[in-house]
Amino acid sequence: MSQRELKEAFVRNLNGTNLQEVALGSSLAPICFMTRGLILILYQQAKGTLPLPLIFHLLLDFSVLILPLVLSCTVLSSVLHQVIASLILVSACMFCYIYRTSRRPSAQHSKTNISTFFQSHVEFNQVPFVTLFRVFVNVKTAISILAVDFSIFPRRYAKTETYGTGVMDFGVGAFVFANALVCPEARRKKISGSKLNHITKQLWSVWPLLVLGMGRLVSLKMSDYHEHVTEYGVHWNFFFTLAIVRVVTSMLLVILPANQSWVFALLICGIYQFSLETSGLKNFILHNNDREADFLHANKEGIFSVVGYVAIYMAGVQVGLYVMKPRSHVREWLKALFNLLLGSFVAYAALYICQTLVEPVSRRLANLPFCLWSVAQSLLFVSCLGIADMILLFSKRTSSCHCVPSSWDLHKKDTDSVKKRVEIERLCLVQAVSRNQLLFFVLANVMTGLTNSIVDTLSCSSSFSVCVLLSYMFVNCCAIYVLHLSGITVKFW
């Protein structure tokens, strides 16, 4: 077999892992974020000042936010439980130390302190855990698209062939959900001008995705790069899916009320699932291998899965509307996080029923179970990030150390605190990725192609594979970090 055929065979016919392992993996990023925040609080307590020097901020963020994610899907994947337990223990020790050294409260005073915290006001420009969700989904995607080509990456984490729940399968659904959370409809932006003008504007806004999709298609065909055809088809790719989903949902939300988008999400994926079960559509997508007949046959997976991704996007709009509601007190946000967590459990219950009575999760079909799983897992991930940030917020209030980036703020906006917060946000890797998310995703795709052309990924040792992955992520992060420090936002539309 040629090198291309070997690499294609390496990512085919996989069945994924169980729901529990994917859910467990979602807790790692929130714990890493909380650990980073607690380290900064301890540093400020010890040294009396923040921010750290520029290079140390980048190294801290990379070491605490990126390094564990790379190791957890490579050399430490078999001991993921122990990794998470260890990080929780370290964070718990830091939290207890901060709490005891800051207040030394009596039992009665502790109750009063917690009660006061619940009534506290929070200040923010963006909802922090939404930003974190979008950034970590992007970062995990960047890691996975290259890591999957190395033998050190567990095959159960890769995209499944037909049915199953791989970590990378969730990544695709989460990416669509993340885009929906901050779309104009979720942020309650009013339509300016006529509805026709609005639709025209949305059509124009997706041209970068279409250009990127065409660029990826041409580069793959010209370089004879390995492809997993049953993922999207012969000519289709994820950039085209993102573009079509955005245009279709914009059209739908012009005529349908955005605050009822969850209803339409259920209707869309319900009707689609009914069509899969009662017509020959499912058999056509899964078993008709006549790729040369026409464009539809060649790209059936990419074309028909758009329906499922539209449903996920509509569900994301509903969640975005709920999350973006004005709230000012900690108690209100805790209630919102509880409701998101409850929504996740309800979606998981519906998923269990669907998998029992209908069929398993299939990313290839983007069927009803896949939509439910994507929403359930996304809500769980968002909730975990929000809870981690609330713990961090309590630590900041207790220690009076407020300069932790990408987090809630209780501090009153005097001139000095604003300057310090702006400076520490400028040095934050999370904010750097958030500022140029599409560029980060594109850069990761380009670097993945370059790495595969230089390195024989299948024959690399475990240690060399990890070094390559860490180098790849460090280059991506440095490039996006330099743009952020320079105040550059790359946006052409």
Q: Tell me 315's DSSP state.
A: H
Q: For residues 429 and 54, give the distance between their C-alpha atoms in angstroms, rounded to a whole number.
A: 11
What pLDDT score does 149 carry?
92
Distance of CA 389 to CAs 32, 38, 128, 137, Å?
A: 11, 11, 8, 17
Buried b (16+ CB within 10 A) or exposed e, 84-109: beebeeebeebbeebbeebeeeeeee
* pLDDT tens-digit series, residues 260-305: 999 999 999 999 999 999 998 999 999 988 888 789 999 999 999 9
CA dihedral 113, 119, 120, 124 (to 10 degrees): 140
pLDDT at residue 224 is higher than 90: no
CA dist 224 and 9 (Å) reads 15
Backbone angles phi, psi at 123, to 5 degrees: -125, 140
Total domains in the chain come to 1
With a pLDDT cut of 90, the percent of the chain lying above it is: 66
Whether 305 is in a domain gets the answer yes
Flag whether 490 is in a domain: no
421's tokens = 């917060």
Give me the DSSP letters along 232-245: H-SS--HHHHHHHH
pLDDT at site 228:
80
Sign of CA dihedral 367, 369, 370, 371: positive
Tokens of 233: 């088809």
In a domain, 314, yes or no: yes
Q: How confident is the model at residue 204 (pLDDT cuts 50, 70, 90)?
A: confident
pLDDT 10s digits, 433-474: 999 999 999 999 999 999 988 998 888 999 999 999 999 999
pLDDT recorded at residue 99? 86
pLDDT class of 105 with cuts at 50, 70, 90: low
Question: How far lies 82's CA from each of 74, 76, 372, 489, in Å?
Answer: 14, 9, 29, 39
In a domain? residue 493: no
Q: Flag whether 411 is in a domain.
A: yes
Question: Using an 8 Å Cβ cutoff, are 169 and 16 in contact?
Answer: yes
Is 344 inside any structural domain?
Answer: yes
The verdict on whether omega for the bond into residue 51 sits within 30 degrees of 0, i.e. cis, is: yes
Spell out the residues 6+ positions from residue 467 whose beta carbon is closer than 8 angstroms to its own.
Answer: none
Q: 207-236 burial, b for 16+ CB within 10 Å, e for fewer?
A: ebbbebbeebbeeeeeeeebbbebbbbbbb
**Residue 243, domain extent:** 3-485
Question: Is residue 342 included in any domain, yes or no?
Answer: yes
Quick check: is 491 in a domain? no
